[in-house]
Amino acid sequence: MTFTKTNCAVCHVAARLTCTRCKVVRYCNGEHQKQDWPQHKSCCRPFREQQDAQLGRYLVATHNVMAKQIIFVEDPLVVGPKWFLTDEEKSSSIVPCVGCYTPCRVDKHHCRNCRWPVCSIGCEHEKLECSVLSLGSAPRTKTDVRALVDYYRHDALLVLKCLLLQQQHPDRWRALLEMQSHEEERLGTELHQEAEQRIVGYLQQRFLQRIKQSKQRDSMPSDYEPQLLHRLCGIIETNYMVIELSTGIELSGLFRQACMMEHACQPNCYFQFDAATQRIAVRAGCGLKKGDHLKITYTNILWGTQMRQHHLLMTKHFSCRCARCEDPTENGSYVSAMRCLGDVSKSCVGVQLPVDPLDEKTQWKCDTCPMVVDAAYVTEVQTHMTEQVESLLAGRPTASHVELLLARLSQLLHTNHFHMFNLKHTLVQLYGHEAGLELATLSDLQLGRKQRLCNELYNVCHLLDPHSIKLAIYVSTILIEMTHTLEERARRQHTEAAALLEQAELRLKEAQDVVEKVLDSVAGKKLNDKLQQHFAEHYKLTATLKFNK
């Protein structure tokens, strides 16, 4: 995907002259560029940087911007392998190729010079990086996979890539060091200790301390003190963006301007990545007004406030103060709410909500009766439920298993609680697809259940992310399942078929619109394929039912 148009914005012939300011539009000649400027002016980088004590640096729209319009395109400061690895990934014998990041076996092909794993002989990687890595003593074993995995720590490469900017791109190096690192806050934390053991100590002892003896030391970084490396870890942790390639591979990147965008639990922007140029394009997720802050989300918005706050505090060192975070009902979605914990007979229909959602130790109060419980109790209940939900979903459950747990959890949780959401989202994909539960075999009751669940899920998504920016995959999945349900009802109720099919078509078109935002991801592409096929089937069905009338 390239973000630059290929034809002249005025006369539409193939053109080579690019607007140097935004690098998005092209012209065949200077005359046409001049002619277009009055119109282009308002969409050529329609934002500016601002700064204040509370937010630090942030970006503001300087013109009204249409949904999906590119706001800016930017080159990276650095792009490298995935930064945050799970424990399984840390001990896996499948690692990203140092050249192209394709997953490869740690013990198969190796770079001739530095011995780091590559996907195939001849896949090359950056020269300076290779020289530094070749200072290490790679294990001479081919069989001791544990030793190999421990030696080739690919997450450390992102820090090394940052460090090498000193030599390679002094301007990018300066921009990188201007980013927030939260060094002070990190000191003494688990994050710091882990970075010390896994990254800083490792890079120091295995590679960097050997630079002094290297013949090529003049071309290598001269500054690689532990403190600097920790600062780079902090900068990455605070600012990195998760990039998902269309192949499913996840990378991490730092971008000067994109990283300045403010976090909010309800974003108004999203970004796309071009693997060939490593450029990022930030697009408006909905119509923006002049003066709007550009916002993206650095956490999972399907989590409740307590979990989002904890995650943001641990990884980004700030506590979000957005409208949703301050609202105990979370925009009326009730995704953290419990049912009144007051009495077992459930005579109170109230919901238990945090008094101050931004305080971890807050009390939770029923909105109808005087029942109050403390945070520790709520956390205990939630943790227990997380385990149950995760272990059920990990085991490819059937619809009836999911229904059972759902019924159990509904004793304690609000019907929109994020655990309930998770289970219901699984359920709508089982009804109509599971063996024995194909659409045609569902009872009217089951079909009605599927439809109700879809509506509930759709409403929650709409409250949390009204423009389906962050939840695009979830929303399009729900819309597709809604369409299945409407079509099946049309097959069963001939008198209402026309109206039902019309609704189904609207849902399909809405799904198409939503899925366009995530076409660069594997899941998005898959959904889009499914959607195209679904469109064809839908029109066939419409024709058949009309004919049979």
Q: Which residues bind Zn ion (CB under 5 A)?
A: 8, 10-11, 19, 21-22, 28, 32, 44, 97, 99-100, 102, 111, 113-114, 119, 123, 130, 265, 320, 322, 325, 340, 342, 348, 350, 366, 368-369, 371
User: Cβ 77 to Zn ion, closest distance in Å?
Assistant: 22
d(Cα 418, Cα 413) in Å, to the nearest integer?
9
What gap in Å lies between CA 493 and CA 490, rounded to an integer? Answer: 5
User: From the CB of 308, what's the least distance to Zn ion, in Å?
Assistant: 6
The CA distance from 259 to 218, in Å, is: 32
Task: Closer to Zn ion by CB, 28 or 463: give it.
Answer: 28
Q: How far is the CB of 367 from Zn ion (least distance, A)?
A: 7
Q: How far is the CB of 379 from Zn ion (least distance, A)?
A: 19
CB-based contact 419:389 (threshold 8 Å):
yes
Q: Which residue has the tokens 């503001």?
A: 60
Spatial strand order in the sheet of 338-339: 338-339, 351-354, 363-366, 372-374
Provide the minimum distance between the beta carbon of 184 and Zn ion in the complex, in angstroms, as a whole number. Answer: 24
- Which one, 326 or 537, has the nearer CB to Zn ion? 326
Q: How far is the CB of 343 from Zn ion (least distance, A)?
A: 8
**CB atoms inside a 10 Å sphere around CB 356:** 11
What are the Cα distances from residue 121, in Å, to 94, 107, 112, 143, 157? 17, 13, 8, 19, 20
Backbone angles phi, psi at 198, to 5 degrees: -85, -35
- Smallest gap, in angstroms, from Cβ of residue 222 to Zn ion? 21
Write down the least CB distance from residue 219 to Zn ion, Å.
15
Q: Which of 451, 450, 464 is nearest to 417 (CA)?
A: 464
Nearer residue to Zn ion within complex by CB, 92 or 388:
92
Neighbours of 135 (CB within 10 A): 18
Helices (H), 318-374: 323-326
Q: In angstroms, what is the minimal distance from the CB of 24 to Zn ion?
A: 6
Rank residues 119 and 284 by Cβ distance to Zn ion and give the closer one.
Answer: 119
Smaller CB distance to Zn ion: residue 32 or 283?
32
Task: Kindly tell me which of 302 and 527 has the beta carbon lying closer to Zn ion.
Answer: 302
Cβ-based nearer residue to Zn ion, 203 or 515: 203
- Residue closer to Zn ion (CB basis): 358 or 519: 358
Q: Which two tokens stand for residue 22?
A: 């935004």
- Between the alpha carbon of residue 260 and those of residues 55, 82, 254, 282, 296, the distances in Å are 10, 20, 10, 12, 10
Q: How far is the CB of 224 from Zn ion (least distance, A)?
A: 19
Minimum distance from CB of 366 to Zn ion (Å)? 3
Long-range contacts (CB closer than 8 Å, 24 or more residues apart) made by 241-248: 241/271, 241/280, 243/79, 243/273, 243/280, 244/273, 244/520, 244/521, 244/522, 245/101, 245/273, 245/275, 246/275, 246/520, 246/521, 246/522, 246/525, 247/102, 247/522, 248/522
Q: Which is nearer to Zn ion, 139 or 350 (CB)?
A: 350
For the CA atoms of 471, 472, 476, 477, the dihedral, rounded to the nearest 10 degrees, stands at -50
Cα 297 to Cα 152, 181, 185, 456: the distances in Å are 31, 19, 22, 23
Pairing relationship of beta strands 250-254 and 103-105 according to DSSP bridges: unpaired
Closest CB 497 distance from Zn ion, rounded Å: 44
- CB atoms inside a 10 Å sphere around CB 463: 18
**Given the complex with Zn ion, which of 203 and 501 has the nearer CB atom?**
203
CB atoms within 10 A of CB 113: 13
Nearer to Zn ion (CB atom), residue 377 or residue 535: 377
Structure tokens at 487: 């079509």
Residue nearer to Zn ion on the CB measure, 98 or 420: 98
